[in-house]
Amino acid sequence: MNLLERANYMISAMARLLKDADSAFMGVASFLPFLAIAVTKRLYNPDLVWYSIVGFNPNPYRMPMSTVHPLIAEYCDAKLQLAEIFDISARGELDVVFLAGAQIDSRGYLNNSHIYINGKRLQFPGGAGGALLHATAKRPIVWQGKHDPRIFVREAQRITAAGKPYRVFTPLCIFRLDRELGRLVTDSIHPWSSYEEIKEKTGFEVNDAPTTPEPSDEEIEIIQELDPKGIRQLVLQ
Amino acid sequence: MTEMSLDEAAEMIKDGSLISLSGNLLFRIPAAFVRELARQEKKDLRVMKTAGGYDVDLLCGLGCVKEVIAGFVSFEVFGLAKNFRKAVEEGRVKYSENTCYSVIAALRAAAYGIPFMPIADISRSYFVKERGFKFVENPYGGGKVLTVPAIKPDYAILHVQKADEDGNALIYGPWFEDVLMARAAKNIILTAEMIVPTEELRREIDAVWIPKLKVKAVVEVRNGAYPGACPPYYDMDFEMMEKYANLDEEELKSHIWEVRP
């Protein structure tokens, strides 16, 4: 299965999770969340409130090369300044937030700060708005375009953002947080991967799980319409 | 007269100043001004922004910066900010890591004229301790509240679409933290795509949220955000950003002389 088709699986699964969501926010470089929110709003949940950094309820006809592009604001219902996103979440009014993690640990905490390898510092960009959003949004959805044991670790060296993720999307599987165990468990495995592969490439204990359902033709059609050039596969490269 | 040339305006920034930069990532960044700062070989600058990109990276790469106060520094689709990373990894630049929310809180406290701002509890994030953010007892009951101290930039450097020669200015599209920065900072320097007559600016008064107060310099700089975007006039230069992201040290040094202004 090529990268575009794999991205479609992830987008479809994200979109279906948003069927009962009240609101969702995506930040920078969030191509999969962007398309997932757009699909959900068209097919499943037209009333979903879509917060972006540049405006309230965008109605994009295509996805630009940046998910904070002012172009997205062209067809918004209202203006929204970046600072307000954080206020909305701090007030407890944000349901879903999409967050990326350079490192994601078994508790669902994110490290976007830095790590030390043999005493040498490796600097990440920083967690942007993640610290506040992970801690205060109702259902954080975490995603990452790669899956290896350096990314999915038992305990992150630094905690940039702490919170309880609703789901964690990887190019191999979907994790969810088992609240009793206090750690991530496998919720579904993408059809091109396997329990064995996830076990090998994850730095914490994992379990077997059912296969991630395939995207529908309707979903793929919308994804293709908004992203005809396949920008979405960039995050999986 | 507040209107002047780019090099005159950049000369106002002394070594060691705390400056905050407009825009977000690659949108409406004061790129031309930042290149001029580098050409003038500024040292020990403290640079503040929620989410930096080309601007912060370039200053870090050319040895102009002592400290970066930010929540994020990267190029989004163009990858990681190599010069910023290297400078931090080698200890040449102190990354006072924040989250965008705490940078905003620090600016809000400064803008409101108060010493600190109470914020939502983000204390499980490691940088809260490193930055020294402290809890205080809520005097109205209900436990403890996390706080962020005010940070008052010496200069807010804003690139805007239009200004008049006195320094009144408008911003089209998202403000990001720019209006807040303008309120918080001691002084403001504006670069503008166009300097227009005051009467013309007044016709768009709904977009004019930067008054001339505190504006010490206004410079007309066409393409002042290049290679970043300045909607609605131009998008980012994808080719140049890809090239920039891969420049080596020597190429970076010549970049600021090749790309004018």
Which domains are delineated in chain B?
6-99+155-254 (3.40.1080.10), 116-149 (no CATH)
- The whole-angstrom distance between B216's CA and the closest CA on chain A is 26
Confidence band of A180 (pLDDT split at 50, 70, 90): very high
CB contact under 8 A, A82 and B89: no
CB contact under 8 A, A126 and B70: yes
Task: Confirm or reject contact between B233 and chain A (CB < 8 A).
Answer: no
Picking from B144, B171, B174, the residue whose alpha carbon sits closest to that of residue B160 is B171
Burial track A17-40 (b if 16+ CB lie within 10 A, e otherwise): bbeebebbbbbbbbbbbbbbbbbb
Task: Confirm or reject contact between A229 and chain B (CB < 8 A).
Answer: no
Task: Confirm or reject contact between B26 and chain A (CB < 8 A).
Answer: yes
pLDDT at A224 over 80: yes
Pairing mode of beta strands A120-123, A114-117: antiparallel
pLDDT at A53 over 90: no
CB contact under 8 A, B88 and A125: no
Cα–Cα distance measured from residue B225 to residue B215, given in angstroms and rounded to the nearest whole number: 19
Beta bridge partners of A58: none
CA distances from A77 to A54, A227, B209 (A): 11, 22, 21
Q: Which chain A residues contact residue B180 at CB under 8 A?
A: 83
CB contact under 8 A, A161 and B74: no
pLDDT at A70 over 80: no
Give the per-residue pLDDT at B37: 98
pLDDT at A73 over 80: no
Cβ atoms within 10 A of the Cβ of B124, count? 15
Give the per-residue pLDDT at B62: 98
DSSP state of B32: H
ipTM above 0.90, yes or no: yes
Cβ atoms within 10 A of the Cβ of B5, count? 14
Mean pLDDT computed over A12-36: 96
Sketch out chain A's domains with CATH numbers: 3-236 (3.40.1080.10)
Which one of A28, A121, A135 has the shortest CB-CB distance to B76?
A: A28
Put simply, the chain B residues between 81 and 110 with a CB less than 8 A from any chain A CB are 81, 84-85, 88-89, 95, 97-102, 104, 108
Give the per-residue pLDDT at A75: 79
Q: Which tokens is A55 given?
A: 């405006």
Which one of B25, B124, B177 has the shortest CB-CB distance to A68?
A: B25
A vs B: CB pairs below 8 A: 135
pLDDT at A74 over 80: no
Tens digit of each residue's pLDDT, chain B (261 residues): 699 999 999 999 999 999 999 999 999 999 999 999 999 999 999 999 999 999 999 999 999 999 999 999 999 889 899 999 999 999 999 999 999 999 999 999 999 999 999 999 999 999 999 999 999 999 999 999 999 999 999 999 999 999 999 999 999 999 999 999 999 999 999 999 999 999 999 999 999 999 999 999 999 999 999 999 999 999 999 999 999 999 999 999 999 999 999
Confidence band of A30 (pLDDT split at 50, 70, 90): very high
Picking from B41, B54, B47, B32, the residue whose alpha carbon sits closest to that of residue B11 is B41
CB contact under 8 A, A127 and B119: no
Least confident of A54-63, A68-77, B159-168, B233-242: A68-77
pLDDT at A59 over 90: no
| Percentage of chain A lying above the pLDDT 70 cut | 100
